[in-house]
Amino acid sequence: MAFSLHGVHVPHRKNTANSSAVYVDPPKTVTIPMSMHIGAPAKPCVKVGDLVKVGTLIAEAGGTVSVPMHASVSGKVVKIADYLTSAGSTVPAIVIESDGEMTPDEALTPPVVDSKDSLIQAIKNAGVVGLGGAGFPTHVKLNVDPARIEQLVINCAECEPYVTSDTYTMLTRTEDMKTALEAFKTYMGIKHIVIGIESNKKAAIKSMMQLMKDTCQGCKVDVKVLPAKYPQGGEKVLIYHTTGKVVPTGKLPIDVGCVVLNCTTLAAIGSYLATGMPLVKKCVTVDGGAVKNPQNVIVPVGMSMADVFEACGGLTSEPSKVIYGGPMMGVTVPDTSAPIMKNTNAILALTAKETKLPATTPCIRCGSCTNTCPFGLAPAEIAKAYDRKDAVKLEELSLATCMECGCCSFICPANRPLVQTNKLAKVFVREEKAKEEGKK
Amino acid sequence: MSKQLTLSVSPHIHSGRSTWRIMLDVIIALLPATVAGCVIFGLRALAVIALTVASAVGFEALFNLITKKKQTIGDLSAIVTGLLLALNLPANIPLWQCVVGALFAIIVVKCLFGGLGCNIVNPAITARVFMLVAFGSMTKAALPTIVDTVAGATPLAPEAATSLGDLFLGLHGGAIGETCAVALLIGFIYLLVRRVISWHLPVVFIGTVFAVSFFLEGMNAVAALSAILSGGLLIGAIFMATDYVTSPATAWGKVLFGVGAGVITVLIRYYGVYPEGVSFAILLMNIVTPFIDSWTKHKVFGKGGKKA
Decide if B11 and A161 are in contact by the 8 Å CB cutoff: no
pLDDT at res. A133: 79
The percentage of chain B sitting over the pLDDT mark of 90, rounded to a whole number, equals 78
Given a contact cutoff of 8 angstroms between Cβ atoms, the answer to whether A355 and A323 are in contact is: no
Given a contact cutoff of 8 angstroms between Cβ atoms, the answer to whether B36 and B145 are in contact is: no
Average pLDDT over residues A23-49: 93
Alpha helices in A217-312 (DSSP H): 235-243, 263-275, 305-311
- Cα-based torsion angle of the residue sequence B260, B265, B266, B269 in order, rounded to the nearest 10 degrees: 160
Closest CB from A356, A376, A415 relative to B298 = A376
Cα separation, B110 vs A142, in Å, equals 57
Closest CB from B117, B245, B302 relative to A249 = B302
Given a contact cutoff of 8 angstroms between Cβ atoms, the answer to whether A55 and A105 are in contact is: yes
Decide if A401 and B21 are in contact by the 8 Å CB cutoff: no
Residue B155 pLDDT level (bands cut at 50, 70, 90): low
Decide if B10 and A10 are in contact by the 8 Å CB cutoff: no
Given a contact cutoff of 8 angstroms between Cβ atoms, the answer to whether A396 and A382 are in contact is: no
Which helix (H) or strand (E) segment holds residue A348: the answer is: strand A346-350
DSSP three-state, residue A174? helix
Average pLDDT over residues A246-269: 94
Average pLDDT over residues B212-218: 93
pLDDT at res. A310: 94
**pLDDT at residue A122 tops 90:** yes
pLDDT at res. A168: 93
Residue A368: which of B251, B20, B255 has the closest Cα? Answer: B251
User: Residue B6 domain-assigned?
Assistant: no
Decide if B307 and A335 are in contact by the 8 Å CB cutoff: no
User: Residue B153 domain-assigned?
Assistant: yes
Task: Please give the C-alpha separations between residue B144 and each of B85, B131, B250, in angstroms, as whole numbers.
Answer: 19, 22, 39
Residue B156 pLDDT level (bands cut at 50, 70, 90): low
pLDDT at res. A371: 95
**pLDDT at residue B158 tops 70:** no
Lowest average pLDDT, out of A334-343, A358-367, B129-138, goes to B129-138
Cα separation, B268 vs B283, in Å, equals 13
- Contact status of A244 with chain B (Cβ, < 8 Å): no
Given a contact cutoff of 8 angstroms between Cβ atoms, the answer to whether B51 and B95 are in contact is: yes
Residue B3 pLDDT level (bands cut at 50, 70, 90): low
Given a contact cutoff of 8 angstroms between Cβ atoms, the answer to whether B133 and B259 are in contact is: no
Sort out which chain B residues have CB atoms less than 8 A from A246's CB and list them. Answer: 301-302, 306-307
pLDDT at res. A1: 45
Residue B184 pLDDT level (bands cut at 50, 70, 90): very high
Residue-wise pLDDT for B42-58, tens only, equals 999 999 999 999 999 99
Q: How many CB pairs under 8 A join A and B?
A: 170
More confident residue, B144 or A131: A131
**pLDDT at residue B154 tops 60:** no
**pLDDT at residue A87 tops 90:** no
pLDDT at res. B151: 43
Cα separation, B131 vs B276, in Å, equals 14
Given a contact cutoff of 8 angstroms between Cβ atoms, the answer to whether A26 and A300 are in contact is: yes
What is the DSSP code (8-state) at residue A308?
A: H
Number of domains in chain B: 1
Residue A277 pLDDT level (bands cut at 50, 70, 90): very high
- Name the β-bridge partners of A156: A197
Task: Please give the C-alpha separations between residue A353 and each of A308, A317, A356, A412, in angstroms, as whole numbers.
Answer: 22, 12, 5, 19
Residue-wise pLDDT for A151-200, tens only, equals 999 999 999 999 999 999 999 999 999 999 999 999 999 999 999 999 99
- Cα-based torsion angle of the residue sequence B111, B112, B118, B119 in order, rounded to the nearest 10 degrees: -90
Sort out which chain A residues have CB atoms less than 8 A from B5's CB and list them. Answer: 319-322, 332-336
Cα separation, B170 vs A346, in Å, equals 59
CATH at residue B201: 1.10.3430
Given a contact cutoff of 8 angstroms between Cβ atoms, the answer to whether B125 and B81 are in contact is: no
Cα separation, A125 vs A295, in Å, equals 30
Which helix (H) or strand (E) segment holds residue A323: the answer is: strand A321-324
Residue B161 pLDDT level (bands cut at 50, 70, 90): low
Residue B66 pLDDT level (bands cut at 50, 70, 90): very high
Task: Report the mean per-residue pLDDT for chain B.
Answer: 90
User: Residue B11 domain-assigned?
Assistant: no
pLDDT at res. B157: 54
pLDDT at res. B152: 46
Residue B146 pLDDT level (bands cut at 50, 70, 90): low
- Contact status of A383 with chain B (Cβ, < 8 Å): no
User: Residue B165 domain-assigned?
Assistant: yes
* Residue A94 C-beta-side C-alpha neighbours within 13 Å: 33
Please tell me which residue of chain A has the smallest CA distance to B119.
A364
Sort out which chain B residues have CB atoms less than 8 A from A375's CB and list them. Answer: 300-302
Average pLDDT over residues A333-349: 94
Residue A136 pLDDT level (bands cut at 50, 70, 90): very high
Residue A86 pLDDT level (bands cut at 50, 70, 90): confident
The percentage of chain A sitting over the pLDDT mark of 90, rounded to a whole number, equals 84
- Contact status of A337 with chain B (Cβ, < 8 Å): no
Cα separation, B152 vs B139, in Å, equals 11
Residue B147 pLDDT level (bands cut at 50, 70, 90): low
Closest CB from A321, A358, A377 relative to B18 = A358
**pLDDT at residue B308 tops 60:** no
- Cα-based torsion angle of the residue sequence B293, B294, B296, B299 in order, rounded to the nearest 10 degrees: 130
User: Residue B13 domain-assigned?
Assistant: no
Decide if B302 and A246 are in contact by the 8 Å CB cutoff: yes
pLDDT at res. B296: 94
Residue A266: which of A146, A173, A194 has the closest Cα? Answer: A173
Closest CB from B15, B297, B301 relative to A411 = B15
B2, B4, B6, B12: best to mutate for the A interface, most A CBs within 10 A? B12
**pLDDT at residue A256 tops 90:** yes
- Name the β-bridge partners of B303: B305
B170: distance to nearest CA of chain A, Å? 31
- Contact status of A279 with chain B (Cβ, < 8 Å): no
Decide if B17 and A236 are in contact by the 8 Å CB cutoff: no
User: Residue B97 domain-assigned?
Assistant: yes
Residue ranges making up the domain that contains B253? 19-295
Given a contact cutoff of 8 angstroms between Cβ atoms, the answer to whether A120 and A138 are in contact is: no
Decide if A377 and B250 are in contact by the 8 Å CB cutoff: no
Which residues of chain B are at the A interface, by a Cβ-Cβ cutoff of 8 Å? 1-19, 21-22, 75, 115-118, 244-246, 248-251, 297-303, 305-308
Given a contact cutoff of 8 angstroms between Cβ atoms, the answer to whether A265 and A235 are in contact is: no
pLDDT at res. B304: 63
Closest CB from B19, B115, B246 relative to A413 = B19
pLDDT at res. A73: 95
Residue-wise pLDDT for B162-171, tens only, equals 788 888 888 8
User: Residue B54 domain-assigned?
Assistant: yes
- Name the β-bridge partners of A283: A298
Task: Please give the C-alpha separations between residue A195 and each of A148, A177, A206, A207, A311, in angstroms, as whole numbers.
Answer: 19, 12, 12, 11, 33
Cα separation, A213 vs B46, in Å, equals 70
Given a contact cutoff of 8 angstroms between Cβ atoms, the answer to whether A195 and A262 are in contact is: no
Domains and CATH numbers, chain A: 29-97 (2.40.50.100), 116-275 (3.40.50.11540), 368-439 (no CATH)
How do beta strands A90-98 and A57-60 pair? unpaired
Residue A248 pLDDT level (bands cut at 50, 70, 90): very high
Residue-wise pLDDT for A380-412, tens only, equals 999 999 999 999 999 999 999 999 999 999 999
- Contact status of A248 with chain B (Cβ, < 8 Å): yes
